Amino acid sequence: MKAILAIITVALSMVACGNSEDATKGGSASLKTSSLALPDGTKITLNGTVAKVVSKPNDKGALKLHEIKFNTTSKIAESSVYKELSKLGYTRKVIEDSRNSFKIHYYKKDQPVIGNVYQEQPGANSQASQLSMYWQSI
């Protein structure tokens, strides 16, 4: 299990560092509701702002990474994300849970696993968190 997490961490690091096909960055100070297309094309609405979208080609297709910023703690952000995904038939499994971040995989039959890494983003005046959502596109 630790080897899988290490591979995912390395893959995310590589995606963040290089050759993105399509990258968008949002510099908005106020967060808003954003729409996000899942691997099957279904759109979900999240109570955060999509800050970056990266598609990294690989031998299996492409690794898709979305960074979303929330004005809530990571636990509240995960609850809102899971509420949307559960409506579409996804189940979840907690992979790792630590003080400042946690990792969850979401599963649905015949769909790629959606991996989410939630991290607290402590600020001077507010609670904030960031989600890195990724999956392998074929």
Q: What is the DSSP code (8-state) at residue 127?
A: -
pLDDT at 5 over 70: no
CA 23 to chain centre: 15
Spell out the domain ranges in the chain: 2-137
| Contacts within 8 Å (CB) and 24+ apart, 101-107 | 101/74, 102/74, 102/78, 103/5, 104/78, 106/82
Q: What is the DSSP code (8-state) at residue 9?
A: H
What pLDDT digit, counting tens, does each position of 9-64 carry?
Answer: 444 444 444 433 344 344 444 446 788 899 999 999 999 999 999 999 999 899 99
The rounded mean pLDDT for the chain is 80
C-alpha angle 51-7-41 in degrees, rounded to nearest 5: 45
pLDDT at 2 over 90: no
Determine what percent of the chain is predicted with pLDDT higher than 90: 60
Q: What is the pTM of this model?
A: 0.74
C-alpha to C-alpha distance for 81 and 84, rounded to whole angstroms: 5
Say what the pLDDT of residue 124 is.
Answer: 56
Say what the pLDDT of residue 32 is.
Answer: 67
Q: Is 82 helix (H, G, I), strand (E, B) or coil?
A: helix
